[in-house]
Amino acid sequence: MTPSLPRVAASVVIAKASLQKVFDNLRVSGFSLVGPTVREGAITLDEITQMSELPVGWTDQQSPGHYRLKQTREPQYFSYSCGPQSWKQYLHPSRLSLFSVEKENGNWRVQPARNLSPRYAFIGVRACDLSAIAIQDRVFMTGEFRDPHYARRRGPIFILAVHCTQPVSTCFCVSMKAGPRASGGFDLAVTELPDNFVVEVGSEAGSEMLRDTAWEPATAFDLGRAAQACARAEREMQRQMRTDDLPRLLYDNLDHPRWDEVATRCLSCANCTQVCPTCFCVTVEDHSNLAATAAERTRVWDSCFALDFSHVHGGNIRPTIRSRYRQWLTHKLASWIDQFGVSGCVGCGRCITWCPVGIDITEEVQAIRGKG
């Protein structure tokens, strides 16, 4: 007899339609579901309630500077790679009120912003993005200081991961050891097969959400097919990046002529930093009323590609695109490791796809490395 709920670390099989039951269970438990959905010609993230809101029958084509959706004949739910957005917009919002100040007779009242956030259930998190969340966990929750806003959002989330079976041409998660298979940090992880879902249970909460889904223990045959699907994704990965000589390679080549060359193509538009699931830089803005008796302080995403990012009295430290591109790349792949013990890159390929001129981070690193 099958027990009512699977054990943690067990793999089970559910009918595709049963995923809706998982969604319903999550909602009944108080979660707001966020998942991929088709909007304005791209697979974006938004609050969803129904399986039918997933990009059923859609896939994406990505290459440097190129992103298009295409309809497929198979009604698959997760047959695409990362869209332009990442989960960072929910955990580290692009705009967040920090506090407000009211002045009364020379006294200040400092009011921390309440910033209520729902308990999110993230649906369809890819391995690369799961790694990105783990990286931002280190950035915001492990230093001398903790970001209370991130910690409060991060704490209660539920993660339904999807093992990636369909990389696009800009992906290189295998090189960054971030995918295509999610190795942990999820509550449930799904491999989509043509006729059903193989589901790995990652936590008690995950097991709980499989209640009443008519799950069956996965057979060796199911597991074999799931493993094959991931193995094929790994084989099909077109791009790669050597990482064994990083960060040294970049530190030793801060004056490499390739920085000048890439600066002739880079528009310094900051797209790469905005789509990057790990880039965390922010600036702060103040808005006051006309009488200047009250002000609100807001944190917004910033980018090291912005000219005034490095402004100090007397000018900008990095006035050239060369210096700003170098800052981004060396931070992402080199100094990030010194700062947080891991690379800042997960190989999701978004910065390649969404670069308007198609600059390819893997190609730039290889160019600096040279023939060697």
Partner 1 sequence: MSVLMSTLDPRSAQDPMLPHPAVIESIKPEAYGISTFSLAFVDPAETAAYRFSPGQFNMLYLPGVGEVAISVCSDPGEPQMLGHTIRYAGGVTRAIGRLRVGDVVGVRGPYGSSWPLDNAAGKNLVLVAGGIGLAPLRPVILSVMRQRDQYGRVLLLLGARTPADLLYNEEIGRWREGGIEVHVTVDLADENWKGQVGVVPQLFYRIRVDPKQTLVMTCGPEIMMRFVIYEALARRIPKQSVFVSMERNMKCAVGFCGHCQFGPTFICKHGPVLNFAAIEPFFGKEDF
Q: Which of residues 22-81 bind partner 1 (CB under 8 A)?
A: none
Residues 76-115 as x/- pattern, contact with partner 1 by CB under 8 A: ----------------------xx-x-x--xxx-x-x---
Strand, coil or helix: 47: strand
- 310 near partner 1, rule: CB under 8 A: yes
Tokens of 335: 């100094």
Question: C-beta of 123: minimal distance to partner 1 in Å?
Answer: 28
Choose the stretch contacting partner 1; rule: CB under 8 A; options: 37-45, 203-211, 219-227, 327-335: 327-335
- 143 near partner 1, rule: CB under 8 A: yes
Would you say the C-alpha torsion 14, 15, 19, 24 has a positive or negative sign?
negative
Rounded-to-integer distance, Cα 211 and Cα 221, Å: 24
Would you say the C-alpha torsion 68, 71, 74, 76 has a positive or negative sign?
positive
- 345 near partner 1, rule: CB under 8 A: no
Residues 248-287 as x/- pattern, contact with partner 1 by CB under 8 A: ---x--x-------------------------xxxxx-xx
- 315 near partner 1, rule: CB under 8 A: no
Question: C-beta of 107: minimal distance to partner 1 in Å?
Answer: 8
Neighbours of 222 (CB within 10 A): 19
Helix residue spans in the chain (DSSP H)? 19-28, 88-91, 127-141, 148-154, 204-208, 220-236, 248-251, 257-265, 271-275, 321-330, 336-340, 350-353, 361-369
Strand, coil or helix: 105: coil
Q: What angle do CA 109, 113, 118 make, to 5 degrees?
A: 160
Applying CB under 8 A, which residues contact partner 1? 98-99, 101, 103, 106-108, 110, 112, 139-140, 143-149, 151, 251, 254, 280-284, 286-288, 292, 294-295, 297, 299, 302, 304, 308-314, 317-320, 322-323, 327, 330-331, 334-335, 338-339
